Structure 1
Amino acid sequence: MKKIIMKKEDIHRGTLVLVNRDYPLRVERERRLCQINTNYPEVVLEKEASVTLKKLLEEICGENEIALVSGYRSKKEQERIYQTSLWENGGEFTRKYVAIPNHSEHQTGFAIDVGEKREEIDFICPAFSNEGAGKKFRAQSYQYGFIERYTKEKEEITKIAAEEWHFRYVGYPHSMIIKERGLCLEEYIELLKDYPYGQKGLSYLAADKQIEIFYIRAEEETVILLPENSLYKISGNNVDGFILTLWR
């Protein structure tokens, strides 16, 4: 068996971290940030998300129709955006559409705002309709590990108004399960607690490969035993534990 040791603070790292009003980003760490498109040099994401988004845009031939509006933001940048919105748009609008610093998904490096290519683009609420390239992007995004993070149906749970332009990278197959079950990320993280490691996992069949997903509660030092030569991925959930994705 292969032994993996995770520290308690590792729950704040990974593609499945839940960042919202209740669970802030707690760890500032060095990131592997990469450009997605040279036409948008300031819009960067964590490498895994950046590479995958580039493939998605190429697949739908959307590079010339979809604008990359905002990707990773530092805490300082999020503070500036929040304060500027308070000044220009008022408190009610800002609470609906702009997260307070350390509670923004953009600080994870896994969130991207996209919009229709226009001469003028609203930075906070870019237009991104469900037609043309926007429709193709939404249809394919889940296959590439992205979810539409804030929808009208889930506003009471996410506490964020619907944002048709905001997509979050969670990785495959998590994106597909979230889509197929009609969940938001908050609900998915809670659902996975029903599948503790050592018992039956949440199964997903993809390309004739069985994928199992498990929840592991974090201890001060969490020891995870895995089959030798197994293909796996571990992410913190930023709440209380880890999500293990295991390819059988």
Structure 2
Amino acid sequence: MSKKKISKEKSIQHAKMTTEIVISLVLVGACAFFIRNGLNHTKKIEPSPYVEQKAADIEDPTATTLPDPNQTIYESLSVETKSKFRGDLILVNKEHQYFGGSEDLVSITDMNYENEIDCFSAVDSTYTILRQVYGPMTKMIQDFYELYHNDTLLIYGSYRTTDFQQELYDNDVANNGGEESTRVAKAGFSEHETGLAFDFSETENNDYQGTGDFEWINANCYKYGFIVRYTSSKEKITGFQNEPWHFRYVGIPHAYYMDSNDLCLEEYIDLIREHPYDKLKDHLEFSDDKGNDYEVYFVKSDDGSDKTTVPVPAGVRYEISGNNVDGFIVTVYKGQKPIVEETPTKTFEDTSEENTENSEDTDSEETEEYNEY
């Protein structure tokens, strides 16, 4: 091959390579132009001054938040405002009237007969008491009997009608020659009208002073939900003289606290009022001598409405009682599940007006022997 021909081929290759380099440079320059132009037209978006800037929380789908087992969850319960005049903790005294009616009463002697109880008695079958009081009253007397084998206890005062209470009051005024009775509560202002109270006597001496064997009852009645309502140390507060025979049902938690802290019912009602629901960390909390834990708080009644909203714990046993003054008392049985109420297997029904008339006639016979009201 001649040198001239080889030189021509090299020239062609050189020209081809030069052309490719030029085209590549043009393409690189064009890309750079478009990229720079795009960046020049890009505007930075500033954060809004009206939105608080926070780091985004990224949830871990595997994480589990466990509820605090010690935290009480409350829910709202609507109750009749007028029900503040009902319940185991109603305060009935010379200043606060009881607005009675529709009491669930049972005959003490009839219930004793049905349940084969023979360690105590009542004057006759017309002596009645609230159904929920009969059980703990009977249990207390049975335990007393097992200790002392003393069957002389007699229920000598129990539920009274307003009419009979008025009769007692009028008789006491007439017998003592005064304008007012200093021993008998006026009609409407006696605990006996609630069915929550009863009086002891005994069949040997017809007198009960809470001494001797009976001292055990007065010292241990709180274990069954009862208090000795009137004592000499609280006479200025209650307005009544010492009456060791007069017992009032308030429920075990409250009877325990009152006994342990030497409080009468008036003092206890005032104390609970100082622990309103709104102050969640300042509810009244205590444990009894059996290790049961309680929480008690007060809810003021909405007297301008037919209904009052009462906060109650969810999934926990609780009870609501009016205080017969200005609101409701909620008792929480901490750690206990709600109780499912069952229909009583034994009932007593007053089936005739004759029973009521007999009750008034029989009760009037005890007027002269009463020293407690």
TM-score by length of 2: 0.61
1:135 aligns with 2:187: no
Kindly provide the CA deviation profile for residues 21-77 of structure 1, in whole angstroms up to 9, marking residues without a partner as x.
111112x32111123344422222111111110111001017712111010101011
SS of 2:151's partner is: coil
Q: 1:51 aligns with which of 126, 135, 146?
A: 135
Assess if the C-alpha contact under 8 Å between 2:301 and 2:326 holds in 1.
yes
Deviation of 1:131 (Å): 2.4
Q: 1:67 aligns with which of 131, 140, 154?
A: 154
**Given the superposition, is the C-alpha separation of residues 132 and 65 from structure 1 closer, same or farther in structure 2, using an over 3 Å criterion?**
farther
Assess if the C-alpha contact under 8 Å between 2:210 and 2:245 holds in 1.
no
**Given the superposition, is the C-alpha separation of residues 86 and 142 from structure 1 closer, same or farther in structure 2, using an over 3 Å criterion?**
same
Distance 2:324 2:85 in 1: 4
SS of 1:148's partner is: strand
Distance 1:56 1:16 in 2: 20
Gaps of 5+ in 2: 1-73, 113-120, 335-373
Assess if the C-alpha contact under 8 Å between 1:96 and 1:161 holds in 2.
no
Q: 2:284 aligns with which of 202, 207, 213?
A: 202
SS of 2:308's partner is: strand
SS of 2:271's partner is: helix
1:15 aligns with 2:88: yes
1:6 corresponding residue in structure 2: 79
Higher RCO (C-alpha under 8 Å, 6+ residues apart) = 1
Distance 1:171 1:226 in 2: 18
The residue type equivalent to 1:98 in the other structure is V
1:30 corresponding residue in structure 2: 102
The residue type equivalent to 1:243 in the other structure is I
Assess if the C-alpha contact under 8 Å between 2:224 and 2:251 holds in 1.
yes
**Given the superposition, is the C-alpha separation of residues 78 and 63 from structure 1 closer, same or farther in structure 2, using an over 3 Å criterion?**
farther
Assess if the C-alpha contact under 8 Å between 2:218 and 2:244 holds in 1.
no
| Structure whose residues are more often helix by fraction | 2
Assess if the C-alpha contact under 8 Å between 1:57 and 1:63 holds in 2.
no
Distance 2:189 2:108 in 1: 24
SS of 1:19's partner is: coil
Percent of pairs with identical residues: 32
**Given the superposition, is the C-alpha separation of residues 63 and 6 from structure 1 closer, same or farther in structure 2, using an over 3 Å criterion?**
farther
Q: Which of the two has higher C-alpha Rg?
A: 2
TM-score by length of 1: 0.90
Consecutive aligned runs of 4 or more in structure 1 exceeding 4 Å deviation: none
Assess if the C-alpha contact under 8 Å between 1:82 and 1:99 holds in 2.
yes
- C-alpha RMSD of matched pairs (Å): 1.9
SS of 1:179's partner is: helix
1:192 corresponding residue in structure 2: 272
Deviation of 1:96 (Å): 2.8
Distance 1:89 1:67 in 2: 27
Moved more, 3-12 or 68-77: 3-12
Once the two structures are superposed, the pairs formed by residues 160-175 of structure 1 within 5 Å of their partners are 160-175=240-255
1:76 aligns with 2:163: yes
Assess if the C-alpha contact under 8 Å between 2:103 and 2:194 holds in 1.
no
Distance 1:56 1:48 in 2: 14
Aligned residues: 240
Q: 1:104 aligns with which of 182, 190, 194?
A: 190
The residue type equivalent to 2:309 in the other structure is V
Deviation of 1:132 (Å): 2.9
Gaps of 5+ in 1: 122-126
Distance 2:316 2:81 in 1: 23
